[in-house]
Amino acid sequence: MKSTTSVLKNKLRVLATPLPSVSSVTAMILVGAGSRYEQRQENGIAHFLEHMFFKGTKKRPNALEISSVIDGIGGEFNAFTSKEYTGFYIKASAKHLDLVLDVLTDMLLNSKLDSGEIERERGVIFEELRMYLDTPMRYVGDVFENLLYGDQPLGWNIIGSLQSLKNIKRGDLTSYLSRFYVPNNLIVSISGGVGADEAESLVEKHLGGEAAKKTTNFLPVEITQKRPAVKLVSKKTEQAHFCLGVRSYPRGHENRYKLAVLNTIIGVSMSSRLFIQLRERRGLAYYVRSGVDEYRDTGFFAAQAGVEIKKIDEAIKVTLAEFAKLAKEKVSSKELTKAKEYIKGKLVLELEDSREVASLFGIQALLEEKIKTPQEIMKEIDKVEAADIQKVASDIFRDSALNLAIIGPYKDKAKFAKILKL
């Protein structure tokens, strides 16, 4: 599988990944801007603007008009905001690519940003934020990143705060739009049953006339941790939620695929170490998982679980023991092979979906220096050896690097700090 990259005269990049056996097409527009590009007083504006693009344009004056067009061709559409990028996509029959691009570009270039709609949507986003705050399984990850990065853009919630959301005005939205939604800061990734020439031609038709502009970069993250850290959100809950992790590596780092295999071994699947130790053997948790997040200049690895309130100490200690074990002992060849095959197998399944393919190539093009094909990624995974896992574990799992976020009915943060030892 290969992707063709072309650059229009206005510096907009077009990625076309033909999938001859697929009848659908996904058109995805990725913008090099997310919540880490925000100022404190406008925190949440990237996500707010994402919502507003669905509220109407001059050509399609309301949300119903926009959704009716996509529903009329049996398509699906959505958007997402992360800390480093924002994305919009429509997936439909390949024969409708021209219409799909017309709708997407109309939303991004001609949004009315009606003042009445802004106020209505502000209420919607308030409730979305309150929903997250009332969902510890979701919110504990945000608490963890705030612990890692503090009062820096990477440490703020993508959705914003109740106060910052109150401050955002129409002029702020239009200013943000003009700063970041410019051709040289966009990637259009098209994947599915459409050839590269047709894809480029249609993107040129819909976006070729827009002018390039200078954009604003993000501030590099500052890291000062010298000892284990704990952030406790004291709240009455039926279950305690914790997120325990360490800083790891940025995008493109030579250890990224080694860490991916380590992550799979420790907490991705139902046969992973933490799932077995916390759920199957001790009955401490229903959900338990681990994950890796990568940014341009930093990254982290973390494990998360929801556990019985009285047994959180035990769950944390078991998790720490599994971290330490990976640094002290080599994984078996059987476990290593299983983890690598798991990653490759999941990638193969994703490649059957034109949306996943558009995302895979598009995000790499936006954030990384080199685009790796799925085959190249699999080769990197195959190269990982047991000694690599142990070396990476020794590098990232250190007492001084530990970070623990907790949501639950507790008051004593110091008690948890005492058990943060590998």
Query: What per-residue confidence (pLDDT) applies to 224?
Result: 87
Each residue of 408-422: pLDDT tens digit? 999 999 999 999 999
Same domain, yes or no: 203 and 282: no
Kindly state the tokens that stand for 271.
């046969």
- Distance CA(49)–CA(81), nearest Å, equals 10
Q: What is the mean pLDDT of residues 331-358?
A: 97
CA 247 to chain centre: 16
The Cα–Cα gap between 156 and 68 comes to: 35
> CA 388, 393, 398, 401 torsion: positive or negative?
positive
Structural tokens at position 145: 């990143």
Please name the residue ranges forming H helices in 115-235. Answer: 115-133, 136-149, 162-167, 170-180, 196-207
**Mind listing the pLDDT tens digit for each residue in 179-216?**
999 999 999 999 999 999 999 999 999 999 998 899 98
Q: For 60, phi and psi rounded to 5 degrees?
A: -125, 90
What local confidence, expressed as pLDDT, does residue 33 receive? 94
414 exposed, middle or buried (CB, 10 Å; 0-12, 13-18, 19+)? exposed
Number of domains in the chain: 2
Of 164, 200, 223, the residue nearest 156 (C-alpha)? 164
CA distances from 92 to 71, 323, 374 (A): 10, 44, 23
CB 422 within 8 A of CB 397: yes
17 & 93 share domain: yes
Q: Looking at residue 369, what is its pLDDT?
A: 87
Instruction: Of 125-129, 219-223, 286-290, 396-400, give the lowest mean pLDDT range.
Output: 219-223
- Residue 403: pLDDT band by 50, 70, 90 thresholds? very high
pLDDT at 216: 87
- pLDDT at position 2 over 90: no
Q: Do 197 and 54 share a structural domain?
A: yes
pLDDT of 93 > 90? The answer is yes
Q: What values do phi and psi take at 85, rounded to 5? A: -160, 165
At 265-305, the pLDDT tens digits run 999 999 999 999 999 999 999 999 999 999 999 999 999 99
Statement to judge: residues 182 and 73 lie in one domain: yes
Per-residue pLDDT, averaged over 343-350, amounts to: 97
pLDDT in tens, 153-187: 999 999 999 999 999 999 999 999 999 999 999 99
Domain of residue 414, residue span = 229-418
326 vs 321: CA distance, rounded Å: 9
The phi and psi torsions of 41 (rounded to 5 degrees) equal: -70, -15
Mean pLDDT value of segment 377-387? 98
Question: Residue 86: phi, psi to the nearest 5?
Answer: -130, 140
Q: Which amino acid is present at 180?
A: F
Query: Is 217 inside a domain boundary?
Result: no
CATH classification at residue 42: 3.30.830.10
Query: How many CA atoms, within 13 angstroms, populate the side-chain half-sphere of residue 362?
Result: 28
Mean pLDDT value across the chain: 97
**For residue 79, pLDDT beyond 90:** yes
Residue whose token pair is 């799909």: 100
Q: Are residues 171 and 285 in the same domain?
A: no
**Average pLDDT of span 125-144:** 98
Looking at the structure, do residues 179 and 265 belong to the same domain, yes or no?
Answer: no
Same domain for 95 and 167?
Answer: yes
- One domain for residues 175 and 317: no
* Residue 290 maps to a domain: yes
Per-residue pLDDT at 111: 97
Q: Taking the model in full, what pTM does it have? A: 0.95
Residue 1 has pLDDT above 90, yes or no: no
Does residue 50 carry a catalytic annotation?
Answer: yes
């019985």: which residue's tokens?
308
Catalytic residue among 50, 117, 294, 335: 50
